[in-house]
Amino acid sequence: MSDSPSHHAQGSAPPPAPVGASGRPPRSRRPDYVLTAVVGVILAAAVPFLLGTADAAPDSPLRAGLLLGTILLASSAATALFAARSSLGALATALTALAAQAAVFMAPMHAASLPYPWLQRLISTGFMLILAGLWLGGSWGMRMARRAGHTQGHAAFRLTQADRTVGSTPIPPPSRRRDHLLSLPWVIAGLTLAGFLLPRSYLRAVAPGIQTGPLMLGAILVSFIALAAAAASTARSTLGARLTGPILVLLAVPALSGDMIPGSRLVSRILPYGPDAIVLAAIGIELMAIGWGAHMARRTGRANALARLRSGV
């Protein structure tokens, strides 16, 4: 006996979409991906523009401070969005900056091919490459921090359940003290390596008429990896990034104050081949924002996991 048409329809129907505790299918994350990617591209263009505008007027401490404050607000707002929605925005920031840097390398006259003097000076500092390296590592750190937050949420829920069970002894989660202790030297080591290799090699690589050899490209690549590794350490602990970022800003403050604070030549003595104080402060701001972003992503992952478990999903 042949099957009825209703049997055929039931057999060929797709399986129902998974539903949440409210009886509705889970919300699509595609709008989050699109929104964060667009914000990431805008951030990668806005930060160099603001920084170049600030660097064009080094004798105006108030203007430089206001523009650096704007960079801090823009980076913090974008990072909070990436942490809450998707780390794809951080990856979009890194890839946009890396594409701009690659275009400079492939240009016939390198930095001299750029149309604006402030943009030529900014590219010569290597900030776009630094921005790409930090946000590339930051995107990975944010993603892994969110996953670690999920794991911590599950562990906290199991610990609560075990604590309520009569006769069971809850096992506390493993200590993160080692991750915190290793975070700061790891970030400092990555930045130190990049600060030693990058200025000497990069400045020649973007100069007109210079042929980039394998040693020069190797030094730039190692610097880029070191920056990405420093930012990626936020997956284990954000302490290093959140401490090192403000330290870099504080080192740049005397030079930005217009000789009102002693130590205006400190940055040029530490980094004789660059970058200057304004760029160093911007690097500290971006590193600080990345560290807080990973911290917020971990907390968001933990809160989301606990909310789903408590709702019975």
The Cα 122–Cα 105 span in angstroms is 14
Write out residues in the chain with pLDDT < 50, as ranges: 1-22
Distance of CA 186 to the CA centre of its chain: 16
pLDDT of residue 11: 44
- pTM equals 0.85
Structure tokens at 239: 């302490």
81-97 per-position pLDDT tens digit: 999 999 999 999 999 99
Domain boundaries, the chain: 31-165+178-311
First-residue to last-residue Cα distance in the chain: 42
pLDDT of residue 2: 44
227-264 per-position pLDDT tens digit: 999 999 999 999 999 999 999 999 999 888 877 777 77
The Cα 170–Cα 161 span in angstroms is 9
pLDDT of residue 205: 82
Structure tokens at 226: 């070191």
pLDDT of residue 202: 85
**209 phi-psi bin (left φ>0, alpha ψ -120 to 50, beta other):** left
pLDDT of residue 10: 44
Residue type, 160: T
